[in-house]
């Protein structure tokens, strides 16, 4: 079983998505051609997104490292990026069977009406495996504690996917029936809810209600993500003391990333539309108002203009903060490509307000830097053990450094589960169990309530 699921993961989303979507499409009654085309669009979307991410990391890694050296920004925690976190996650006993274990939990939650989401975002299961792998090593290679942390994270994420689904679907058009069961994105929802309400209490703040379109009107061409990308890229080149050719190249490259991401993410929408519409029709017809969500990657919506603009503004800001914040030891470089994934669940709460989204992202990242710094010793322990066994280069930490990654290690959910599982003896796990059960019961109550209301409305309509 371990070999089977390791092989599935190794195929990647771009290969498996056409297969998965073809099977799902046929199962719900779509024609073979339409099902295959849907899957291929999503698969091609993942290929395109991988190319764009590689374009960003390949061209900006060296200039960012040059900036760190020129301005003596070396901190003790080396940014390993998400490949290292994924390598740690999957190259352990926890990661080996994380897919069948979590799919089993998903089925149980569907049967007990504690979730509506069918999570097919298999490639982001590494987030659950990661927190489980860290707990596994910290707790003396205890498989029980490793799976405990992973399963708690999975259940909390599934409930959050349900609770945020309506708002997500309302804000992002053409995504009916889709939810986002990815813990990194969902962990920023508490920040967004609290800070958004706090900002609404500030007199006159409502006048700063500027979305990406409003930014274009206010600043003209300078408000375009494309142009902002060129400016930020050139600024990074200038700070890295590149020559004119290098500065201009980085500017155009960053601009290309900002322009191409939205175009590529449209492929995801085109691929999802036939599946989403067919699923919605079947559910309404056969299940009398009972709703089922398809859990998908947040990559679907990272091309939103507000996400692009705020991510661009935060890249130089977070580099500056990493240096000046007292106690922080983490300088994000390789992880900056993951900045776009902070905002998919934040935008529905701020309604795309650039100022609010920037403030929420800024505060969340400040906490995130400290989370990574705090987790770094145990991340390093896990990475070193994985490297010693597998010799996987992604898990090798440079000599003299601890290891860390912004991706998931900077998330509220990940850090809380890590602290309560690994550093609070039995009280922490007990608290996690209580929180998890309470969230499941709250979600179950909402699901049952909405099903009763839907059934009542259906009966009334039939009587009429």
User: CA-to-CA distance for 9 and 16, rounded, in angstroms?
Assistant: 9
118 located within any domain: yes
Q: Tell me which residue of 300, 211, 305 sits closest to 258, measured CA to CA.
A: 305
Q: Note the pLDDT of residue 163.
A: 95
Stretch (H or E) spanning 147: helix 143-171
pLDDT in tens, the chain (464 residues): 666 666 766 776 678 778 877 887 888 788 888 888 888 888 888 788 778 877 877 888 788 778 877 877 777 888 887 777 887 887 788 887 888 899 899 999 999 999 999 888 877 888 999 999 999 999 988 899 999 999 999 999 999 999 999 999 999 987 888 899 999 999 999 999 999 999 988 887 777 777 766 666 666 666 677 888 888 889 889 888 889 999 999 999 988 888 888 788 778 778 877 877 777 677 666 655 578 888 888 888 888 888 888 888 888 888 888 888 999 999 887 787 778 888 999 999 999 888 899 999 999 999 999 999 999 999 888 888 888 877 777 778 877 788 888 888 889 999 999 999 998 878 999 999 999 999 999 999 999 988 888 777 666 666 66
450 located within any domain: yes
239 located within any domain: no
With 0-12 CB in 10 A as exposed, 13-18 as middle and 19+ as buried, what is 54?
exposed
14 located within any domain: no
Residue-range definition of the domain harbouring residue 308 = 71-219+272-455
Q: Note the pLDDT of residue 132.
A: 92
247 located within any domain: no
Q: Tell me which residue of 315, 42, 338 sits closest to 175, measured CA to CA.
A: 42
- Give yes or no for a contact between 277 and 35, defined as CB atoms under 8 angstroms apart: no
354 located within any domain: yes
Q: What residues are paired with 77 via a beta bridge?
A: 330, 402
Q: Note the pLDDT of residue 415.
A: 94
Q: Rounded to 5 degrees, what are φ and ψ at 404?
A: -160, 170
331 located within any domain: yes
Q: How many domains would you assign to the chain?
A: 1
233 located within any domain: no
């Amino acid at each position: 079983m371990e070999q089977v699921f390791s092989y599935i993961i190794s195929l990647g989303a771009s290969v498996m998505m056409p297969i998965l979507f073809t099977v799902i499409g046929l199962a719900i009654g779509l024609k073979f051609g339409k099902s295959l085309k849907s899957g291929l669009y999503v698969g091609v979307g993942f290929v395109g997104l991988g190319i764009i991410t590689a374009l960003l990391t390949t061209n900006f890694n060296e200039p960012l490292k040059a900036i760190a050296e020129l301005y003596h920004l070396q901190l003790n925690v080396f940014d390993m990026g998400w490949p290292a976190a994924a390598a740690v996650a999957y190259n352990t006993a926890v990661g080996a069977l994380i897919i069948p274990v979590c799919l089993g939990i998903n089925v149980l939650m569907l049967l007990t009406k504690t979730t509506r989401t069918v999570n097919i975002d298999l490639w982001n299961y590494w987030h659950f495996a990661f927190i489980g792998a860290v707990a596994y090593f910290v707790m003396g290679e205890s498989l029980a504690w490793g799976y405990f942390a992973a399963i708690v994270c999975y259940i909390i994420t599934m409930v959050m996917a349900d609770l945020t689904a309506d708002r997500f679907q309302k804000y992002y058009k053409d995504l009916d029936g889709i939810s986002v069961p990815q813990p990194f994105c969902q962990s920023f929802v508490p920040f967004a809810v609290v800070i958004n309400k706090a900002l609404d209490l500030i007199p006159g703040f409502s006048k700063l209600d500027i979305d990406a379109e409003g930014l274009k009107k206010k600043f003209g061409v300078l408000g375009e993500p494309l142009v902002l990308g060129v400016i930020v890229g050139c600024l990074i080149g200038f700070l890295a003391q590149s020559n004119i050719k290098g500065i201009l190249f980085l500017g155009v490259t960053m601009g290309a990333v900002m322009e191409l991401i939205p175009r590529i993410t449209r492929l995801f929408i085109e691929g999802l539309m036939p599946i989403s519409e067919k699923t919605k029709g079947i559910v309404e017809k056969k299940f009398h108002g009972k709703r089922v969500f398809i859990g998908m990657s947040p990559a679907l919506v990272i091309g939103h203009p507000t996400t692009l603009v705020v991510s661009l503004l935060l890249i130089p800001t977070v580099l500056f903060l990493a240096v000046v914040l007292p106690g922080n030891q983490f300088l994000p470089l390789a992880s900056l490509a993951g900045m776009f994934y902070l905002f998919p669940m934040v935008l529905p709460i701020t309604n795309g307000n650039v100022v609010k989204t920037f403030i929420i992202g800024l505060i969340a990242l400040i906490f995130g830097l400290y989370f990574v710094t705090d987790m770094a010793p145990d991340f390093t322990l896990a990475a070193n053990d994985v490297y010693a066994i597998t010799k996987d280069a992604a898990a090798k930490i440079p000599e003299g450094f601890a290891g860390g990654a912004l991706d998931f290690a900077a998330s509220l959910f990940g850090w809380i589960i890590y602290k309560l599982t690994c550093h609070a003896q039995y009280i922490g796990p007990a608290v996690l169990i209580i929180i998890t059960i309470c969230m499941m019961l709250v979600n179950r109550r909402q699901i049952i309530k909405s099903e009763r209301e839907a059934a009542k409305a259906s009966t009334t309509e039939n009587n009429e």
